Chain A
Amino acid sequence: MVSAALSLRPSAPVPAAAAGLNLDVEHVSHAFQLEGAPLPVLDDVSFSAEPGAFVALLGPSGCGKSTLLRLVAGLDPPTAGRLAVDGEPIAAPDPSRILVFQDPTLYPWRTVEANVSLGLEARGLLKAQRRRVGDALSLVGLSGFASAYPRQLSGGMAQRVALARALVNEPRLLLLDEPLGKLDSLTRITMQGEILKLWQDARFTALLVTHDVEEALFLAQRVIVFSERPARIKADVTVDVPYPRHRGDPRLAELRHHLLGLLGLDATW
């Protein structure tokens, strides 16, 4: 199991490279109904993510980034505007676009293996493709924990299971909603590296919501900065640093300063 945890090399059983989806978000606005009055959360948001891109959405917490991910997942329709993947409008949830929440939200009555199988089971593919469950578990280094229950896992392990549960479906667009937000900082650094490897191997398009500037810069090719609620796009910053990146890279530090400035948080720089 320990060796499996380290075997995140490209030769590991990676889901067959399904090319990432192209995402278009065009003039999307969204509002919640709060006690009868509309509460705007997204204000005319437009951007695109080309297939296989890693885009981070950065902004103050509660600004509406997570809402945007729910719209992309197809869980809610936008109040105005258009969302499309590969030119097709997003109308409903689809297993090609999978959301990973901040909380692992594993099903506590299912074993780790049964949690990971859920997508295949729901679509009636489990019998034919059961092998992929084991592959996904070894991909996140948890082969030895197939029969464990979620309550027996640490926070980091549970979030790895949640990743495996998403990856087993070979998503072409992975939506990560602060997936590392509740982990301790050491586990977070480890898992940032793991997410990067998974993305590099499987080449899905990744959309990461975060309020951690360093995380956004370490992982993403582009960082889109949002304002306070209602969220509007403040800046679209390209991270022109090749992978593998080093956290101490002076260019990353420079970009970090720039992003903190955009967020109005550079007073202590």
Chain B
Amino acid sequence: MTHQLIETAHLDGVPRSDRGHALRRPLWRSGLTSGLLWLSAGAYAGLVPDVDDFAYTREFAVGLAAIGGLLVLAALAGPVAGLRLKALRHWGPWLLVLPLGLIAWEAVTAKLELLPRPFFVPPQALLEVYLDDWPKLGLSVVASLKLLAWGYVIGAAVGVTLGVSIGWWRVAGYWAHPVLRFIGPLPATAWLPVAFFLFPSSWSASVFLLALATGFPVTILTWSGIASVNKDYYDIARTLGASERFLVLKVAIPAALPHVFVGLFMGLGTSFAVLVVAEMLGVKAGLGWYLQWAQGWAAYANMYAALLVMALMCSSLVTLLFRLRDRTLAWQKELVRW
């Protein structure tokens, strides 16, 4: 038996032996190349005159050159100082392609003006938005996050509660199932006109819509999670003296959690869509509203800048949810990496 224990014990966390340190690290060639490319992009932006007067061309050029300088420094000094620059090396190909893309963008807009203005803007115009209009953008992000948080958290909480109830109590399932089947597939945005006159403010109406958009997938997935729990888990817990409360909280819900997270991801996606629509049509704040406002003023640079910020926000929130799931479901074998 001792043999069996030793042979079959394969626990995680065994440190892999390090590969040993090379005495001389090779020069990071692609780093040097990309540094030089960034420097050239900076030179192109700063030294070739713009066709028109753009406010932050100099700052943009200096920024590119600074990145180039840092890359050259890292490529030359890194190996000498014994730094492995692992993360930077991983992004090496991107660091090569990005400056080329920026040069091309700069060329077709600010330098040669091959693309029609004002729909196409040079990169320095985005920089201008971030440097001059950051208070308004920042407030918009805060407003969007606040609205999203209220709607999403309420929707997720109601969804999990409802899903567990339907999965656990036959009566709850009897009444909720037809309603969910009928109302659930309706896109939350279809409720928009109704919600805006039923609720005292467009803000509370938007919270309701977000909660609805989040709640449906979370409910369905939680329910299916509860329904697919191995029945033996309950039998074992019952023979060990578990109450019904214990069965729900300590057996059913943990067992259903992988499904619940799928619902939370789906809910997050739909809630982004609802957030933008609600902000564009009702709430006078947030990134959706900023987009709408920028378009109204034909401020296309502001629009692109807001889109970038919105992408960053949504991506960060998804990342955050993945982190939470990875922590909560650490016991699972294989998880999709984000």
Contacts and interface: CB of A to CB of B under 8 A. Distances in A.
Contacts of B10: 152
A151 B246 contact: no
A123 interface: yes
Contacts of A186: 4
A122 B232 contact: no
28 contacts: A2-B2, A5-B1, A5-B2, A70-B235, A94-B239, A97-B239, A101-B236, A105-B236, A107-B251, A107-B254, A109-B329, A110-B331, A118-B242, A118-B250, A122-B237, A122-B240, A122-B242, A122-B246, A122-B250, A145-B9, A149-B331, A151-B331, A151-B332, A154-B4, A156-B8, A165-B240, A169-B241, A187-B4
Interface of B: 1-2, 4-6, 8-12, 230, 232-233, 235-243, 246, 250-251, 254-255, 257, 329, 331-333
Given A5-B2, A98-B239, A169-B240, 8 more contacts: A73-B235, A103-B232, A107-B254, A108-B331, A118-B242, A122-B240, A151-B331, A157-B9
B239 A95 contact: yes
A263 interface: no
Main secondary structure of the interface of B (DSSP, over half): helix
Interface in A68-124: 70, 73-75, 93-95, 97-99, 101, 103, 105, 107-110, 118-119, 121-123
Contacts of B235: 70, 73, 75, 99
B5 A5 contact: yes
Given A121-B250, A190-B1, A105 B12 contact: no
Given A93-B238, A98-B239, A105-B236, A190 B5 contact: no
B232 A101 contact: yes
B5 A141 contact: yes
A148 interface: yes
Interface string A50-70: 000000000000000000001
A103 B5 CA distance: 19
Q: Which of B1, B10, B232, B243 has the most CB of A within 10 A?
A: B1
A74 B6 CA distance: 38
A152 B241 contact: no
A6 B10 CA distance: 20
Interface size class of A (residues with CB under 8 A): 35 or more
A241 interface: no
Contacts of B243: 122
Contacts of B329: 109
A39 interface: no
Contacts of A169: 240-241
A1 B5 contact: yes
B225 to A, nearest CB: 12
Closest 8 CB pairs of A and B: A154-B8, A119-B240, A122-B242, A95-B241, A123-B241, A93-B239, A93-B238, A190-B1
Given A2-B2, A108-B331, A141-B5, A118 B11 contact: no
B258 to A, nearest CB: 9
A109 B5 contact: no
B60 to A, nearest CB: 51
Contacts of A145: 9, 11
Contacts of A108: 331-332
A2 to B, nearest CB: 5
A190 B1 CA distance: 7
B232 A75 contact: no
A121 B237 CA distance: 10
Contacts of B331: 108-110, 149-151
Nearest to A101: B232
A52 B306 CA distance: 76
Interface string A157-196: 1000000010001000000000000000011001000100
Contacts of A95: 239-241
Contacts of B236: 99, 101, 105, 118, 165
